[in-house]
Structure 1
């Protein structure tokens, strides 16, 4: 397939405009600032183009179809006036990068940190994130994952309502501020992953259907018409998406893309769009000299997405998995509604740590079917796990975080559990200091009727989990957004300081311990006694044992070691330095010892 660049290409004295509009009989480039309307010339496959002299960055433009209505560019790089107004010409090549020495971070070394640009800082912008880079370095994370930044309607949104995939949200600072953020992160040895949405377009400002056959009528998603990846005219839609992915990694130096809800990307062609995307990204990585990663979000528990093409897969690098979250969430909260009805047994947490997927072919009562397949041949570096993320918090009625649903000691224990697994750990912004502010779902569409529909839709979704939905916060309210902002003030709060220091210790251990550095699922055993778990991991002569007690009472267990072996305690979440109730486990562990473990605590011993 021949790929066509579709966003404006700025040269020294001219600009080449190209758009895909097979539905149009004529297309004119409108330049309102110059009062010009310029006829575009047709190319093969439904493309239209024109090269215009004396066009500089900042020029506004639209495309007029069939001498009737005018619309912004579907591949616009900038929408300074929002989703309904003219697009803006910008030259992304004008940015001066300072990250020549940056080589990236492989997945097995990643400590990911998911954040939402609008609520992470008081400014709610890319500049606001930049100001926190020193904080993130102190914490120890080495990869940030940005929720989607493609232009959406209004100023408040999670980002999954984007309608201009190539344009960076104007209220966040636009394209060049994002570049500055990425550049600054790389200079501080922090990778940047960007969440992208290729399964649907948002509802407001969605004009692409006037140009071409972007949507499929054969399938459906909960969020809108699915993108046409396998129907008539789909070649050029695939080109649109592939060019978008390449742009982020090539022009914005993004290290990897998190692909939203790939289970709602429908493609029954011989070469799946995920495979085509992976092959193109591999080619780009070769050209840039940096590996750019593709990470899928999927609720199918299907390793086909991450298996090599030679093994019948699509060749993506990693995928999110919900099972660890669901297993630990139900264990500590006791919730059993909605999809949580399938979880709650201690052995399921053990399985999620050992095998990643709890459901790898078993029957699901919630889904009313069997689902999932085996991860036996997939290493831990191919799976991203988390105790919390934007979905699992934001899709709750009150947007409550796990620390608010449980308590301080439990929050430390589940943190430790995540970091001792052989998978890629991911934090959700604020959890590292025990943030208690909620994280709601929020929008700010310009159409009041659309906001009302969103609010009604959310209440229907909540009914699977909550009997009374009357207390639901309206997504379009300023309260939903403002209350979701991080509270910070870590230094002035003893509990926050203790939690932050505990996370720093766990991250340091994860990055430096010779066993935890290796994402090895095979050299691992785990057993449970009620809600007390004992996990052993080893690599060569190195060994680590973690005891995780989720009970609300002290637990005792016998320890069998080699007769001359001694293990040293390296982490105890109950320590008073982390505002715990006090340590009761010995500093040294020997054979045939009866070990007492503080309630709601994690203890880690190392050889």
Structure 2
């Protein structure tokens, strides 16, 4: 078997394979690359030593059986027998469901999560979006401090566990999206800097030195990230990737890394004959990210749209701190703006940033499905001081209103695990750092962060306390009892209506019509012959919907269609979906 590694600054590289060491030789025509042959099979442990130093795991390790600091292990992806033939499932018409393997079930494994996929298929979800699964120190964590970007966290089930999960998802008709992190590497267990210039001081990010995308040596670093991305899609049959915080990818080259990545993914899709796609997380509000490459964009198929979340959150909760401030001034107008235009800040002044922000979307030529709309995500829940969901403070009726706007909007809807039944469990920030100093720094840093906003130290959950993770696990007995069972039925009904009505599949932003009343706290959305109306106030409201005959497709509370006067009467915290009769 061939073993190779990029180590451009090393004078001598040794491979240790199954306990036997041998010198590697430089690869002709590939500066900085070293190669050698050794006998190996599935599971054989190996690593590399540079200039007589310690044996380190392979930067492209396909498996880390003993965690990020242990030796790598050989994986024969071709030996896996896939059970389900899978033609792929593209993003148009999707309903995504964000899922964290470690807390979706108490067991926190791929196999345990796979056993619950029938719930999602019955709900009507089309794609599961897994939070990052690369190895990280300890057992429990969010996954955004991962290292070994080609490997799978062993406590979840390792490479074989992920393949079983993907096969099980495909078996019930669900596509699988994987969240990947290219903007930084984990602070613990990361051995990449020993091998080469994977980081650069040319740019700085919230995590320190930037991943090297444009400084000397960046060709190989980009190839490393591209290879990792394609490996998930090819070797694990993943259908799409969600790219974490692409605004932190510092790249001044003429061909941006995202453009290079989207080109490579499209080529793989053509080769495999199945749809593959990329979803970006970005706070730049730059439509070029989701513009096709042929139109001089970067080619992402979609992006998370936090503006829609912030507007909806402010309207539902009344919160006005931090980045909610601009949205909270006229929250119903903010919701309407994001429903029709995608971004709220599209060149307007952002008080949170202290400057103008964003760029206007070409509504006539931009598919609404390129925006992901949601009322909750791991970020927006878990980065709150106590990880409280909307269900902690909102009535079931307001939760139903939030679901109605997400699932009847023109954007691609995404749910966060448990929201479909109004889960009472929080989803908190938790870690399991094995380095005591890092654990202390994370704990104290989080307390300082929220103390600045008036929180007492005792009220901030300790990320390192196992109880913090345990509290964050879904309680699968909840969907069977009120009020959770009613909320779950509402979500399933809305998803079914969305799937059945062509007008709710339309992607034309210019065809979206919205009416609202700021003091009355109601909003009505029209898409073709389908209309959705929500009343966020705690008193009944009357909405003018016109005199066209309408029939009720779904109603949270008993609601009659508008009478001859064209007025719709909605009770407090209630919502309805109607269509032309």
2: distance between equivalents of 1:60 and 1:604? 58
Q: Which residue of 2 aligns with 1:601?
A: 574
Unaligned runs of 5+ in 1: 1-14, 575-582
How big is each residue's C-alpha offset from its partner over 1:236-267, in whole Å with a ceiling of 9 and x where there is no partner? 00000000011000111000000000000010
TM-fit CA distance, 1:491: 5.2
Pick aligned residue for 2:163 from 170, 179, 189: 179
| Alignment counterpart, residue 402 of structure 1, candidates 384, 390, 405 | 390
Residue 525 in structure 1 maps to residue 513 in structure 2: yes
Is 2:519 the counterpart of 1:534?
Answer: no
Structure 1 position 594, deviation (Å): 2.8
1:505 — aligned with what? 493
Q: 1:248 maps to which residue?
A: 232
Q: Could you tell me how far apart the structure 2 residues matched to 1:139 and 1:83 are?
A: 37
How far off is 1:465 after superposition?
4.8
Given the alignment, which residue of 201, 212, 216 partners 1:228?
A: 212
SS across alignment from 2:486: helix
1:508 CA drift (Å)? 0.6
Partner residue of 1:448 out of 427, 436, 445: 436
Q: How much has 1:469 moved relative to structure 2? A: 4.6
CA distance in 2, matches of 1:164, 1:293: 23
2:59 aligned residue: 74
Residues 463, 314 of structure 1: alpha-carbon distance in 2 compared, 3 angstrom cutoff: farther
Q: Kindly report which structure 2 residues correspond to 1:76-115, keeping only aligned pairs within 5 A, or say none.
A: 76-100=61-85, 102-115=86-99
2-side partners of 1:269 and 1:537: how far apart? 41
Quote the offset at 1:456 in angstroms: 2.1
What is the CA–CA distance in structure 1 between the aligned matches of 2:567 and 2:325, rounded to whole Å?
Answer: 36
Within-5 A mapping of 1:28-427: 28-31=14-17, 33=18, 35-43=19-27, 44-53=30-39, 55-100=40-85, 102-344=86-328, 345=330, 346-375=332-361, 376=363, 377-427=365-415
Between stretches 143-152 and 69-78, larger displacement belongs to 69-78
Residue 300 and residue 465 in structure 1: after superposition, are their counterparts in 2 closer, same or farther (change >3 A)?
A: farther
How far apart, CA to CA, are the structure 2 residues paired with 1:423 and 1:463? 36
Match of residue 431, structure 1, among 414, 419, 432? 419
Number of paired residues? 572
CA offset digits 1:4-55 (Å, max 9, x no partner): xxxxxxxxxxx21111111211110113x4x3111111122211111213x1
The question of whether the paired residues in 1 share the 8 Å contact of 2:381 and 2:428 is answered with yes
Using the alignment, how far apart are the partners of 1:219 and 1:119 within structure 2?
35
Given the two structures, how large is their TM-score scaled by the length of structure 2?
A: 0.96
Q: What secondary structure sits across from 1:278 in the alignment?
A: helix
Contact 1:201-1:225 within 8 A present in 2 as well: no
Query: For structure 2, which runs of at least 5 residues remain unmatched after alignment?
Result: none
Q: Take 2:239 and 2:493, find their aligned partners in 1: how far apart are those partners?
A: 26
**How far apart are 1:206 and its partner, in Å?**
0.7
RMSD: 1.3
8 Å contact 1:92–1:176 — kept in the other structure? no
Report the alpha carbon displacement of residue 120 of structure 1 after superposing the two structures with TM.
0.2
Alignment check: 8 A CA contact 2:431 2:463 kept: yes
Q: Secondary structure at the residue paired with 2:204?
A: coil
Offset of residue 557 of structure 1: 2.5
